[in-house]
Amino acid sequence: MFSLEGLREDAKRKNLTLYGVLVTQDGHEKGKALWRSSQRINIHSLSKSFASCAVGLAMEEGLFGIDDRVLSFFPEKIDGSPSKNLEELRIRQLLTMSSGHEAPLLMGNQRDDLEDEDWVHYFLNQPFVRAPGSAYLYDTGNTYLLSAILQKRSGQTLLEYLKPRLFDPLGYRNPQWFTCPRGITLGGGGLHLSLEEIARFGQLLLDGGSFEGKRLVPEVYLRQATAKQIKTEAAYPKDRPDWLEGYGFQFWRCAREGAYRGDGAYGQFIVVLPRQRAHVAITAHEERDTQGLLTLVWDHVLPQL
């Protein structure tokens, strides 16, 4: 008999702040635990995985290619002459968090303090100190720029673009997503979803981009997006093993059982377990130990699947 009582007790013992856990296997709910209402919340950087799906769709529709030069979309935004590294920056490096910036951009409260309200201009005029693709650095600005490129090519915001292609088929009614001062969807954070809506996204991922028999996201792209595309070991301490397994196209690899995840601040997760034909949706506000939330899955959920 599947039970989340052990997970509940362990979370309480470790003082982990959970909102909800929903486990699904073979398309059926196996277990659900709530510590508060499962209403919509900001899923933070889990938003990035939805933006990645939009990129896959846009490439399939021919709006741009993965090796297109980023500068080609916004040449008018550069102050002076672009650096060689910026000239070489491609869509691929935005997806893999390896654009070459010295420090992360558009992260959390950084956005509230920006004097430059043109965030594309801001992103492109920061120093690109590393060759694109040479090193991983988590940078919400990369995802924002993907959103800006999609909007320029499609004529729609990322939210508008995904509504008929993904959100409506998944049953997301009137989804909300933060924008920049120029009206471009943030992309890298700010999408608001419920625990159940996150779980529906997990089913889409588990089924290779299909939902209830309808193809929504290209399967080949999803295989690439959820595979390891770049190393992350140098960026994280060894006591966070699920951050050491590499990064795909706005998705993370996990340290257990071939799993991967979408991942947002404070513990907003969709953990996909292909070998078990299962996925685990988590909402939380854990400020100390998000690795501890994933360890709950490995210790209490995985053995029961």
Per residue in 172-186, pLDDT tens? Answer: 999 999 999 999 999
Share of the chain above pLDDT 70, in %: 100
User: Is 205 within 8 Å of 222 (Cβ atoms)?
Assistant: yes
Angle at 262 between CA 148 and CA 221, to 5 degrees: 65
Task: State the Cα–Cα distance between residues 60 and 63, nearest whole angstrom.
Answer: 8
Q: Which two tokens stand for residue 31?
A: 């277990």
Q: How many angstroms separate the CA atoms of 225 and 180, rounded?
A: 25
**Is 284 contained in some domain?**
no
Q: What is the CATH number of the domain that holds 97?
A: 3.40.710.10
**Residue 73 dihedral angles phi and psi, to the nearest 5°:** -85, -25
pLDDT of 285 over the 90 cut: yes
Domain span at residue 131 reads 44-188
The pLDDT of residue 109 is above 90: no
pLDDT at 257 over 90: no
Average pLDDT over residues 99-117: 94
How many domains would you assign to the chain? Answer: 1
- Domain assignment present for residue 71? The answer is yes
| For residues 205-215, average pLDDT | 98
Residue 13 domain-assigned? no
Confirm whether 248 is domain-assigned.
no
Q: Is residue 234 part of a domain?
A: no
pLDDT digits (tens, 9 = 90+) for 233-245: 999 999 999 999 9
Work out the average pLDDT over 104-132.
Answer: 95
Type and span of the H or E element at 23: strand 18-25
**C-alpha atoms less than 13 angstroms from C-alpha of 14 in its C-beta half-sphere:** 20
Length, in residues, of the chain: 305
Q: Assess contact for 91 and 71: CB atoms under 8 A.
A: no
Q: What is the pLDDT of residues 53-95, one digit of tens each?
A: 999 999 999 999 999 999 999 999 999 999 999 999 999 999 9
In a domain, 251, yes or no: no
